[in-house]
Amino acid sequence: MTTSSTTQGARARARIEVTAAIKDEARRQLAAEGAAKLSLRAVARQLGMVSSALYRYFPSRDDLLTALIIDAYDSLGERAEAAHHAVADAGPLSRWTAVCEGVRDWALAHPHEYALIYGSPVPGYSAPDTTVPAASRVGLVLIGIVREAHEGPGLTDVPLPTELRPEAERMTADLAPDLPTEAVTALVAAWAQLFGLVGFELFGQFNRVVEDRGRFFRHAVAGLGRGVGLR
Amino acid sequence: MTTSSTTQGARARARIEVTAAIKDEARRQLAAEGAAKLSLRAVARQLGMVSSALYRYFPSRDDLLTALIIDAYDSLGERAEAAHHAVADAGPLSRWTAVCEGVRDWALAHPHEYALIYGSPVPGYSAPDTTVPAASRVGLVLIGIVREAHEGPGLTDVPLPTELRPEAERMTADLAPDLPTEAVTALVAAWAQLFGLVGFELFGQFNRVVEDRGRFFRHAVAGLGRGVGLR
DNA sequence: TCATTGTGTGAGCACTGCTCTCGCTTGAGA
DNA sequence: TCTCAAGCGAGAGCAGTGCTCACACAATGA
């Protein structure tokens, strides 16, 4: 045991490659057919291996899905971070809408992966804690925008009823102790509402209702940003 | 042919009963295990019939799901309408939050049915137009609240950028020509955002983030209502 | 009365996730 | 350098799935 260093034997390198190949093929099937039709046997078949061999790499279908979920969160998180960096010198509200549009663009480009992470959780499946860091990335970008606004041009005041103050302060301590608790609370709500907009567009709820969805989305998320105190 | 009247033969009545029994058992399995694990064979087994017999009533698994979807939409719609009637003499904003809380309560009580209609669409499944009337009921309740506010105490002004005006007027003509286009546009956005809040709570996105979810929800939807112009 | 229709049966197809045993190959320690 | 456990792939097999089809029986309407 105690095999430590980076340059492992051919065995270990092969394992990494095969694992990646399985995930790639699985992602391809996911994009083509959706999570429910992702079949271990079909993945193995496509890779020219027998289905049981695949269990050497992923102990179950759910574990494969978990790997794909983490990748999807990371992919979306990267997109949000990239969108943020691309408009680094704009005002807070512009940065906010840019990040939101990055999220929407990613979702439209990867509908099945979006459904995997923000749609209904698959069967009895419940995401393990492993996914938490990747899942947090979009939220962290949004917090970053509020923070920069707070330290820079400032935030407008948003109301917070007293009955919610204990919970608001709990959340603030957890998420961003350096920010006004009103802004943090509004941010959490806006975060959820953002994905309501994206989900409704993606899952067909806007069919026959909203046509010019890009413009509608831009307007709606600008409203969200203002609700958080950005300007 | 041309069998017309209500009091059909025993055959027809039996068909209705069996159809209902199938849906009931299917709903039971849906609530217990979720849509993906709903099995025609298991339903048939539970009902003491052979699986192929079930195809006399529902031509495919998707058709059974469609029936359940419509029922779920109707159940949710009823709940929203009941919540509305229960606070008929309150102010518009109170009525708004009451309806939103009705939606949330229903979702928490029927998580799998909620996932079925507002989560990611099942496999390759895409909901047929049959579901539209049932799916519209919650939206109609919300429109009704805005209408009563408009005809009664009035709506506060909400901004609408000129670039969105054409789309906003299209939506208004479709949904509620008698209401201010600013309010209708804001309403559509709030409608989607409402389900973002519900979905995040139900699908675990609020785990480790929001604890006092009832209060948080109440606060957030009050903000949504204000964004539409209610007071 | 008789033919048509509706309904339940059971076998069967092609597929799924997953398990288990069997050998081959690899690579680290003696 | 040799050895032997561990890693890995093959294949058979189990229990389950959605769905189809030929068949038999019962209800219905002409």
Partners of A34 on chain B (C-beta within 8 Å) are 120, 123-124
End-to-end CA distance of chain B: 58
Q: What is the mean pLDDT of residues A97-122?
A: 93
Q: Is A62 helix (H, G, I), strand (E, B) or coil?
A: helix
Q: Confirm if A105 and A226 have CB atoms less than 8 A apart.
A: no
Q: What is the mean pLDDT of residues B205-215?
A: 95
pLDDT reported for residue B127 = 62
Ordered by start, the domain boundaries in chain A are 1-59, 61-228
pLDDT reported for residue B121 = 72
Lowest-confidence segment of A57-66, A118-127, B133-142, B204-213 by average pLDDT: A118-127
| Residue-by-residue DSSP string for B71-128 | HHHHHHHHHHHHHHHHTTTS-HHHHHHHHHHHHHHHHHHSHHHHHHHHSSPPTT----
Q: What is the mean pLDDT of residues B10-37?
A: 94
pLDDT reported for residue A11 = 79
pLDDT reported for residue B124 = 43
b/e burial code for range A179-194 (CB count within 10 A of at least 16 → b): bbbbbbbbbbbbbbbb
Q: Confirm if B117 and B76 have CB atoms less than 8 A apart.
A: yes
Identity of the residue numbered B182:
E
pLDDT reported for residue B145 = 98
CATH superfamily for domain A61-228:
Tetracycline Repressor, domain 2 (1.10.357.10)
Tell if B65 CB is < 7 Å from nucleic strand D: no
Task: Give the single-character DSSP code of B6.
Answer: S
Tell if A62 CB is < 7 Å from nucleic strand C: yes
pLDDT reported for residue B219 = 98
Q: How far is A33 from chain B (nearest CA, A)?
A: 7
pLDDT reported for residue B123 = 40
pLDDT reported for residue A4 = 36
Q: Mean pLDDT for chain B?
A: 93
**Which nt has its C1' nearest the CA of B59?**
D19
Query: In this structure, which topology does domain B67-228 adopt according to CATH?
Result: Tetracycline Repressor; domain 2 (1.10.357)
pLDDT reported for residue A122 = 52
Lowest-confidence segment of A81-95, A122-136, B86-100, B186-200 by average pLDDT: A122-136
pLDDT reported for residue B226 = 97
Q: What is the mean pLDDT of residues B124-131?
A: 67
pLDDT reported for residue B122 = 52
**Which nt has its C1' nearest the CA of B3?**
D29
pLDDT at B3 over 70: no
pLDDT at A93 over 80: yes
**Which nt has its C1' nearest the CA of A39?**
C16
Confidence class for position B12, pLDDT limits 50, 70, 90: confident
- Of 1.10.8, 2.40.50, 1.10.10, 2.60.120, the CATH number of A1-59 is 1.10.10
pLDDT reported for residue A129 = 78
CA B128, distance to chain mean position in Å, is 15
List CB contacts of A146: < 8 A, sequence separation 6 or more: A92, A155, A176, A179, A183, A184, A187, A228, A229, A230
Q: How far is A21 from chain B (nearest CA, A)?
A: 24
pLDDT reported for residue B7 = 52
Within window 10-39 on B, which residues have Cβ closer than 7 Å to strand D?
A: 10-11, 38-39
**Position with higher pLDDT, B161 vs B12:** B161
pLDDT reported for residue B144 = 98
Question: Quick check: A123 and B33 CB within 8 A?
Answer: yes
pLDDT at A126 over 70: no
Q: Is the dihedral of CA A147, A152, A153, A157 positive or negative?
A: positive
